[in-house]
Structure 1
Amino acid sequence: MNEVNLPIQGPGVTIMDAAETLQAFLAKLPLWKRRLEADNYANFPMLEEVLLQDGIESDKALSISLQAEFCRHLDTLQNSFKGYFCSGDLKVETWIRNPFLADIYCISDEDPAKDFLIDLKTKEMLRNEFNSKSLGEFWCALTQAYPCLVKRAMDALIPFAATYLCESGFSALVSVKTKSRNRLDVKDDMRVTLSKTTPPFHLLIQAKQQPSH
């Protein structure tokens, strides 16, 4: 579960990233279930370690009832994870990931984005920018040139995939507003704490310095 959780945490994670991670996890669960039914515990190292410590033979590792209980748990886990994203979130337009590798022929001729994508794919300078920038930075830089494509790309990139930013904000609040500062109005402090921009402290200090007498 930690291996599933960690990749979808962070400020730069998009719904596409999270959806792909969960899709891979959901695709593995039926395989793990089949292995479990065949007394193969490769995907459950802690269980396998306990069984080896108890000296249980691999072909008689678990009782049928206990094995069935584990399989039901995997089925419940799979059903619960299916509700994390609606089906529309999982079918994001693939050209957003990389417009230069997108298969133009898979896009409907009625889609107005097709013309812009054909034009975009011929721009070698933009291809170089794509390789040197993050996905969000790349599309933001095309706001003026390709507003139609950027709008659809942002619809997939902007939504939050997890509550990571809220949780990090609460953690920052706990650090800033302590018992000794319980009357502090943390609005401005939180803005500085959570901002990714480093303030020009030396200029701020110079502006506040008083001339010596």
Structure 2
Amino acid sequence: MNLSWDKLTGLTTDGAPAMCGEKSGLVGRLRQKMQSEGNAGELTAYHCIIHQETLCGKVLGMEHVMNTVTQTVNFIRARGLNHRQFQSFLEEIQSEYNDVPYHTEVRWLSRGKVLERFFYLLDDICQFLETKEKDTARLRDVKWRCELAFLCDVTNHLSALNLQLQGRGRTVTDMYDSVRAFKVKLNLWETQLQQKNHAHFPACQNMMTRTTAASQFPTKHFVEKLSTLRAEFTRRFTDFERQKFNFEMFSNPFSIDPEKAPENLQMELIELQCDSALKSKYETVGRVEFHRCLPETMPQLRRHAARILSMFGSTYVCEQLFSVMKLNKSAHRSSLTDAHLHSILRVSTAQDLTPNITELVVKKRCQVSTVSKQ
């Protein structure tokens, strides 16, 4: 596409070996290309934040709980008769909920909703399964229920973080701030669980209200799970920790000590911090729009801001584009050409698109029909 190699600052991948390989991978080959082009700039390679957040959740090692939930839900939902009977059963007992949702690995955000609904319908589900002569010993086990409650709460917290990381307008610094906040939350939850405080774990709190479950609730085991999850977040996001100073200088340049900044930015940073008009502008328009207002007399700060803004923290935009293409390029649209698809993708992915009605009307061709006279 004839792009300049000296403007390449970052690369975000899905973490696959074909992407991250130092020699034959895309990251390694791009770095070799930049060296051959004489570009001394640093290529910052990241693993998609959203992918890593999802992988962190797998370190909990509670697949045995999720497998039981999935098998039970599939028994209810996979067969139409069972599903209708289950809905009728919930209606007869006047349950607060009228159904239990499906769960698929592709739609990982459905995991939290399924677990929450399953937890609060657990007694009703056991009664229904017993009418079908199914074994419910596992579902009635107190220890297993405690693990289900913990997994339900943690998954809901992870799903909330996942939603925060999604969206087109999220800069890499915004996503990094969300991950940092979640790590602090994990530290807080770990301390509170040690003190048997379940304020942020409603399902666990529900279990603690039951006399039989309160004495068997494995608090120490769950504290270790949270500690392992926090350690995994720290390990996986090491690459972003290395850019912490650059992110802070972009997010709030007025609080940075100029002596700790790179030498090429020190003079401009001092001028910026002493300019009351720019400080007022920063507080008015926000950090993203503010860097567009930097004067041309501060080229190094403008370049630094451009580097940060051009970084993709995740592959969300790429995957969203692929989803749009899949919806439009279906088997039922056989006459769709590559040119048509290109135009559709440009229109459907445009953030701010205002049609020029006047120009469209001028270019409009009237269809004249002739009526034969009898």
Provide the secondary structure at the position in 2 that maps to 1:92: helix
2: CA distance between counterparts of 1:138 and 1:47? 45
Structure 1 equivalent of residue 328 of structure 2? 176
Alignment equivalent of 1:10, drawn from 143, 154, 167:
167
2: CA distance between counterparts of 1:197 and 1:38? 50
The answer to whether the 8 Å contact 1:29/1:78 transfers is yes
The amino acid of 1:98's aligned partner reads N
Post-superposition Cα deviations, 1:56-101, rounded to whole Å, max 9, x if no partner, equal 475x351xxx3343233212311222213512133335332233x3
Answer yes or no: is 1:192 the counterpart of 2:347: yes
The amino acid of 1:200's aligned partner reads P
The answer to whether the 8 Å contact 1:15/1:160 transfers is yes
In structure 2, list runs of 5 or more residues that go unmatched: 1-157, 369-374
State the Cα distance separating 1:181 from its structure 2 match. 1.7
Post-superposition Cα deviations, 1:38-68, rounded to whole Å, max 9, x if no partner, equal 322222111211332x44475x351xxx334
The amino acid of 2:237's aligned partner reads Y
Provide the secondary structure at the position in 1 that maps to 2:187: helix
Structure 1 equivalent of residue 365 of structure 2? 210
Relative contact order higher in (CA < 8 Å, ≥ 6 apart) = 1
In structure 1, list runs of 5 or more residues that go unmatched: none
State the Cα distance separating 1:125 from its structure 2 match. 4.1
Provide the secondary structure at the position in 2 that maps to 1:74: helix
Q: Structure 1 residues 123 and 34 mapped into 2: Cα distance closer, same or farther (>3 Å)?
A: closer
Aligned residues: 206
The answer to whether the 8 Å contact 2:173/2:247 transfers is no
Structure 2 equivalent of residue 95 of structure 1? 249
The answer to whether the 8 Å contact 1:16/1:92 transfers is no
Provide the secondary structure at the position in 1 that maps to 2:291: helix
Answer yes or no: is 1:29 the counterpart of 2:186: yes
Q: Structure 1 residues 170 and 55 mapped into 2: Cα distance closer, same or farther (>3 Å)?
A: farther
State the Cα distance separating 1:115 from its structure 2 match. 1.4
Identity fraction in percent: 25
Question: Larger deviation: 109-118 or 8-17?
Answer: 109-118
Q: Structure 1 residues 124 and 200 mapped into 2: Cα distance closer, same or farther (>3 Å)?
A: farther
Post-superposition Cα deviations, 1:4-55, rounded to whole Å, max 9, x if no partner, equal 2222222222222222221222123233223223322222111211332x44
Alignment equivalent of 1:80, drawn from 232, 236, 242:
232
Equivalent positions of 1:63-78 (< 5 A) are 66-78=218-230
RMSD over equivalenced CA pairs, Å: 2.9
State the Cα distance separating 1:194 from its structure 2 match. 0.7
Post-superposition Cα deviations, 1:161-189, rounded to whole Å, max 9, x if no partner, equal 22221232233223323342255232221
Structure 1 equivalent of residue 290 of structure 2? 138
Query: Please, what TM-score do these two structures have when normalized by structure 1?
Result: 0.78
Query: Please, what TM-score do these two structures have when normalized by structure 2?
Result: 0.48
The answer to whether the 8 Å contact 1:116/1:149 transfers is yes
Q: Structure 1 residues 75 and 109 mapped into 2: Cα distance closer, same or farther (>3 Å)?
A: closer
Question: Larger deviation: 126-135 or 35-44?
Answer: 126-135
The answer to whether the 8 Å contact 2:207/2:213 transfers is no
Post-superposition Cα deviations, 1:141-169, rounded to whole Å, max 9, x if no partner, equal 43733210111122223211222212322
The amino acid of 1:170's aligned partner reads F
Structure 2 equivalent of residue 19 of structure 1? 176
2: CA distance between counterparts of 1:109 and 1:98? 13
2: CA distance between counterparts of 1:109 and 1:3? 35
